[in-house]
């Protein structure tokens, strides 16, 4: 996906573009499978353009270690995966230390909840399992904990970021008692954070000290009727985002930010305005919100159909490396920054 958007070749131009636009914090994902092509051998050349661009443009980065899969020589279902991910995290921390980066923002693992559902319950993503979501979630938490320990052992000032999707599910009114199952499903959005903090299944190694920064991933499809249709903002049953943010804040009392949000086509400005206002409402209620991450910055091909997704601020580059900006979204971002 990074190559398809040409961000791997145009990192500096992209960072300058964002700097000129006033965006100075950028979230990036590493490609572990490109970095460790054989066991224990790390080549960070694919990362260099991103780190160089940030340094040159004086940009702050939030770096995901696990966003684009893992090397083929590692089986995610074995203890080797946990150890290998910890070793990878340690190697990257050492690499940053060599670049004199002392206090990075690092997300060891993106969306443990979604990954365990997609890869362990419904066979949508690697390892394409069904009915093994809970097992995969525990494995991912073990690996995330091991990575957090490795990062802090080499770079003690690392700020750990944990992006997870938040959801709202209501029972199907045509099925008596379905609200109980819906609520249990809804509350599962807290499991990964609870495991990482040690509040749930402490044998996985979680610790309250790990839960430093919570990332909230929220899209227009994150609310639905249990096993049914997506809820729209016009639905009576739709839960405003600021209420969800308040619930997360009351549960963990740790700094938060919107780590991902966005939608496609002409709905982009309206959705950004909605999320921005909901963040303001949450802040007025005492929620410690520290930013809103527009995802993605660049339009990209669809995960499974390669279609041209018009969901970013900038489009694919032309022959000169220039990217067309989506003016309506740009105007809305500028308007929100003034508020």
Q: What is the pLDDT of residues 184-213, one digit of tens each?
A: 999 999 999 999 999 999 999 999 999 999
Task: Give the whole-angstrom CA distance, residue 172 versus residue 178.
Answer: 6
| pLDDT at residue 277 in the model | 98
- The strand pairing partners of 289, in sequence order, are 256
- The DSSP H or E segment spanning 25 is strand 25-29
- The strand pairing partners of 116, in sequence order, are none
Q: How many CB atoms lie within 10 A of CB 301?
A: 14
DSSP count for the chain of H helices, then E strands: 11, 13
The tokens 């989506």 sit on which residue? 326
Burial 29-56 (b: 16+ CB within 10 A, else e): bbbbebbbeeeeebebebbebbbebbee
Q: Supply 31's token pair.
A: 């490609």
Is residue 162 within 8 A of residue 193, CB to CB? The reply is yes
| pLDDT at residue 244 in the model | 98
The tokens 């499991």 sit on which residue? 191
Task: Give the whole-angstrom CA distance, residue 130 versus residue 98.
Answer: 42
- The DSSP H or E segment spanning 259 is strand 256-260
Task: Give the whole-angstrom CA distance, residue 93 versus residue 106.
Answer: 10
| pLDDT at residue 31 in the model | 95
Domains of the chain, first to last? 11-338 (3.20.20.80)
Task: Give the whole-angstrom CA distance, residue 150 versus residue 139.
Answer: 17
Number of Cα atoms under 13 Å in the Cβ half of residue 124: 10
Q: Along the chain (339 residues), what's the average pLDDT of each consecutive run of 10 residues?
A: 92 96 95 96 96 96 96 96 98 96 96 97 95 97 98 97 98 96 98 98 98 98 97 97 98 98 97 98 98 94 90 96 97 93
- Which three-class secondary structure state does DSSP give residue 177? coil
Q: Which pTM was predicted? A: 0.96
Task: Give the whole-angstrom CA distance, residue 239 versus residue 223.
Answer: 8
Is residue 125 within 8 A of residue 119, CB to CB? The reply is yes
Find all residues with CB under 8 Å of 256, minimum gap 6, and list them: 213, 214, 215, 216, 245, 248, 249, 287, 288, 289, 290
Is residue 140 within 8 A of residue 148, CB to CB? The reply is no
Q: How many CB atoms lie within 10 A of CB 181?
A: 15
């Amino acid at each position: 996906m990074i190559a398809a958007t040409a961000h791997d070749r145009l990192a500096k131009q992209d960072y300058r573009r964002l700097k000129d636009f006033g965006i100075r914090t950028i979230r990036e994902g590493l490609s572990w499978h490109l970095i460790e092509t054989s066991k224990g051998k790390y080549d960070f050349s694919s990362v260099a353009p991103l780190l160089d661009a940030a340094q040159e443009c004086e940009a702050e980065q939030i770096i995901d270690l696990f966003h684009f899969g893992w090397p083929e020589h590692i089986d995610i279902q074995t203890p080797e995966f946990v150890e290998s991910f910890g070793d990878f995290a340690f190697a990257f921390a050492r690499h940053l230390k060599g670049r004199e980066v002392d206090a990075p923002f690092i997300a060891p693992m993106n969306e443990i909840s979604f990954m365990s559902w997609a890869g362990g319950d419904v066979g949508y993503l690697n390892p394409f399992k069904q009915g093994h979501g809970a097992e995969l979630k525990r494995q991912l938490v073990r690996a995330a904990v091991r990575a957090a320990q490795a990062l802090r052992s080499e770079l003690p000032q690392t700020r750990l970021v944990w992006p997870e999707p938040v959801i709202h599910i209501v029972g199907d009114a045509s099925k008596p008692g379905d609200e109980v199952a819906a609520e249990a499903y809804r509350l599962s959005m807290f499991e990964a954070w609870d495991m990482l903090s040690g509040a749930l299944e402490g044998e996985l190694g979680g610790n309250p000290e790990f839960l430093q920064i919570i990332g909230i991933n929220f899209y227009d499809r994150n609310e639905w009727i249990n096993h049914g249709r997506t809820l729209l903002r016009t639905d009576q049953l739709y839960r405003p985002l600021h209420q969800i943010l308040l619930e997360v804040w009351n549960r963990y009392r740790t700094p938060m930010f919107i780590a991902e949000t966005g939608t496609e086509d002409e709905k982009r400005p309206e959705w950004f305005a909605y999320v921005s206002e909901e963040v303001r409402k949450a802040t007025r209620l005492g929620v410690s919100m520290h930013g809103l991450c527009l995802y993605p910055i660049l339009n990209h091909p669809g995960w499974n159909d390669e279609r041209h997704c018009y969901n970013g601020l900038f489009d694919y580059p032309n022959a000169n490396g220039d990217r067309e900006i989506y003016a309506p979204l740009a105007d809305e971002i500028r308007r929100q920054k003034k508020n």
